[in-house]
Structure 1
Amino acid sequence: MFNSSNIHTVTEFSRKPADHIKRLRESKSPELLTVNGKAAVVVQDAQSYERMAALADYADSILTIRKALDEDGQSLKSFTDKFEAKHGIKR
């Protein structure tokens, strides 16, 4: 995920923030900023962050559904198969 082209010091970032922001928007890849040679923060463009947050919400929803189905003694596949059959959904 991180390589030498997207690892920078906080000092580098603060000297030319516009260059970094342009690169972040174009590449859609995050940058790792370091302090004293150690990872400190990750920065990314807003669109990529929003997508990542939406995917995290989706994953959390799936985990919640699976937990509820497990507590009811059903697997997600079993539920999905029954739901699709009941509603005439074909994949």
Structure 2
Amino acid sequence: MINLSGDIHSLSDFQRHTSEFIAQMKETGKPIVLTVNGKAELVVQDAVSYQKLLDMMEYLETLAAIKQGLADVNADRTSSLAEFQQKMQEKLSYFQTSCNC
């Protein structure tokens, strides 16, 4: 959900004062919500802040995957390397016979 209590401006205002808005975003690191006909339509942010957001998402996704892996180990929902290799070999064999490779 977009926090509409933040910095909100019309798209036309942003177009008229783009350089000032860019300077503001670089200084504060906060995005700007742009409206069209009074309705929030776009969120604009500087590249450094966007990259930080992407990095944080990747970090959180990694933590979630680790947490799921640990839960799988604790619940004994794992297989040995030998079982995994056997399943992959079966899938590879099926693929090779299916495509006549």
TM-score when scaled to structure 1?
Answer: 0.73
Which residue of the partner structure matches residue 14 of structure 1? Answer: 15
**Deviation of the 1:27 alpha carbon:** 1.1
Show the 5 A alignment for 1:39-50.
39-50=40-51
Bigger Rg, which one: 2
Show the 5 A alignment for 1:57-76.
57-73=58-74
Secondary structure, counterpart of 1:63 in structure 2: helix
The CA RMSD measured in Å over matched residues stands at 1.5
For 1:70, the aligned partner's letter is A
For 1:25, the aligned partner's letter is K
Q: Could you list the runs of 4 or more consecutive aligned residues of structure 1 that deviate by over 2 angstroms after TM superposition?
A: 1-4
Counterpart CA distance in 2 for 1:47 and 1:2 is: 22
Which residue of the partner structure matches residue 53 of structure 1? Answer: 54
Secondary structure, counterpart of 2:74 in structure 1: coil
- The percentage of counterpart residues that share the same residue type is 33
Q: Please list every run of 5 or more consecutive structure 2 residues that lacks an aligned counterpart in the other structure.
A: 76-101
Q: Please list every run of 5 or more consecutive structure 1 residues that lacks an aligned counterpart in the other structure.
A: 75-91
Counterpart CA distance in 1 for 2:11 and 2:62 is: 35
**Deviation of the 1:72 alpha carbon:** 1.1
Which residue of the partner structure matches residue 30 of structure 1? Answer: 31
Counterpart CA distance in 2 for 1:24 and 1:2 is: 16
For 2:36, the aligned partner's letter is V
Deviations 1:18-66 (CA, angstroms, capped at 9, x unpaired)? 1110111011111000111111111111111111110110000000111
